[in-house]
Structure 1
């Protein structure tokens, strides 16, 4: 009989390709992984892989972007115009309410979000730009998200509403914007939004 110790079989705690990762603000040792299947998984780096949770919640589309936006709040965004914030402390299944139209097949068994972004427009793209601004001094935070009509929208992390944003609203790229980032450069006191538009990078300051 072979008495040598065999290595544990490690089963990945996710379903489908991992498209996005981030670290939870309230517990920075916890990695969150967003998958093509829409599942968001929680991976605690202090424990062995076989003890990792298989799933925290399911978003209603592939998770092209996943960002921790404060405490236990996580923003997930992807195709099917699906961008939401979930509070990991209170994740529960989304329920069909009386009078609402029936769920689409891809909406079944998904989590109920804490905040939705009804103005977000991305029907089918995985490689599409998004960034968040959560540093103190800028209200409840802002998400800049590219749309599939080649524009960019700014949204409030507090309630999901679209924020009037002047020149950003007027800008339109020759194709879907894939690169967006908030950054404070050395000569500025406040962050600016940098957007890859065709062969140039546009800077929007506030």
Structure 2
């Protein structure tokens, strides 16, 4: 005789008795549970930081705001942002790699103290001033690469660093290095077009959020997107690109979804759970250089022909067959952005303040800082470069003195804050 179903209990028909359902104590320390707790802690810390920034933000009454607009004094929020960015001062070089003629790319994590940087070919695994993380013995000396370093990306867990090279002359062009002193794993990958002995040109890479089953994604000229899981194994990727992939970013709230910026201006939303990557996306008005998430449903796209726009992902429509290819209508434009021809310039986003920092090519180079809500320029740093020179890497860094900006300029990494 079968017993009644009682919530929290299991009825054994052979023994004709109920047993209470209890969780396995070992499950609390499983790899999945530990990873989930780690991801939840990061999400909670980010939410607390955003809430703290919101509470400390200077607010003004509605009546004063209306009077300011009538008198032509502008938006109070913009004034606050301009004062904030205008208060940044150059702190000088963060560090200098001896014997190296030029900085190119870097990535940094203030919490762990890691600073991984490169000149044209050589990579240095270092640390921030005043912080000394345990550097694995195999990374104490500079790593000498085989070709020009294209990008350096730290994983969301800060346990791995992804290095990519532009053209390694038939050898591996992707490397994942462990930053854990107790883990000596270094993984190597060779991206090349199908049925071709020649290397492809790697264009971009990004780290997946902590709550994602993936770790990194790498885009190139004529290969499918390379996606690595938590064990650094290649996973099934979408079909081959119809256009080179020049920019990549994961969506924080949808960790299975990638935005892939193309030379054609298309930015498909690639769902890695769907065969073929799914459908739909954005069509930017120019070739794409960078893509970054600026809100739960918004992304900023930097492209050629001086274009930078913010798009709302909630109002995208799938293209109808036979319909004219028209650019997606943005919600905000950054009219002062200056990049006519370069794909290898960077932008960075701080979601807490709503600031976007974008490297400039024309007009003295440097970095312009924009408000994501209005598109207005609220600051300018690291200018005065020679014609044709420009900043390669931009990172928002929050230290003891608050939010600041680090940029690679000439032979130095400069800090502003």
> 1:105-154 CA distances to partner (integer Å, 9 max, x unpaired)?
xxx611100111111111111111211111x3x2xx11111111312110
What is the match of residue 118 of structure 1? 335
TM-superposed deviation, 1:22:
0.9
- 2:309 corresponds to: 84
Count, aligned residues: 170
Q: Distance in 1 between matches of 2:245 and 2:345?
A: 16
Once superposed, which parts of structure 1, at least 4 consecutive aligned residues long, lie more than 6 Å away? none
Matches within 5 A, 1:1-206: 11-12=239-240, 14-47=241-274, 49-50=275-276, 52-91=277-316, 109-134=326-351, 136=352, 138=353, 141-149=354-362, 150-165=365-380, 168=381, 171-174=383-386, 175-185=389-399, 188-205=400-417
TM-score by length of 1: 0.75
Which whole-Å CA distance do the structure 1 matches of 2:279 and 2:317 have between them? 16
**Matches of 2:411 and 2:315 in 1, distance apart?**
43
Q: Report the CA distance between 1:54 and its aligned residue.
A: 4.0
Asked whether the 8 Å contact 1:79–1:126 carries over to 2, the reply is yes
Given that 1:81 and 1:122 are in contact with CA atoms closer than 8 Å, whether structure 2 keeps it comes out as yes
Pick closer, same or farther for the CA change 1:180–1:164 going to 2, 3 Å.
Answer: closer
| C-alpha distance in 2 between matches for 1:123 and 1:202 | 24
Task: Give distance in 2, aligned partners of 1:88 and 1:53.
Answer: 15
In the TM superposition, residue 88 of structure 1 has moved relative to its aligned partner by 1.2
User: Which residue number corresponds to residue 48 of structure 2?
Assistant: none
RMSD over aligned Cα atoms: 2.0
Structure 2 counterpart SS, 1:164: strand
Q: In the TM superposition, what is the alpha-carbon distance from 1:11 to its structure 2 partner? A: 3.6
Structure having the higher helix fraction is 2
Please report how far the alpha carbon of residue 53 of structure 1 lies from its aligned counterpart in structure 2 after TM superposition: 2.5
TM-score, normalised to structure 2, is 0.39
Q: How far apart, CA to CA, are the structure 2 residues paired with 1:160 and 1:15?
A: 31
Q: Deviations over 1:157-177 (max 9, x none)?
A: 111000035xx1x63234111
Structure having the higher Rg: 2
Contact 1:62 1:78 in 2 (8 A): yes
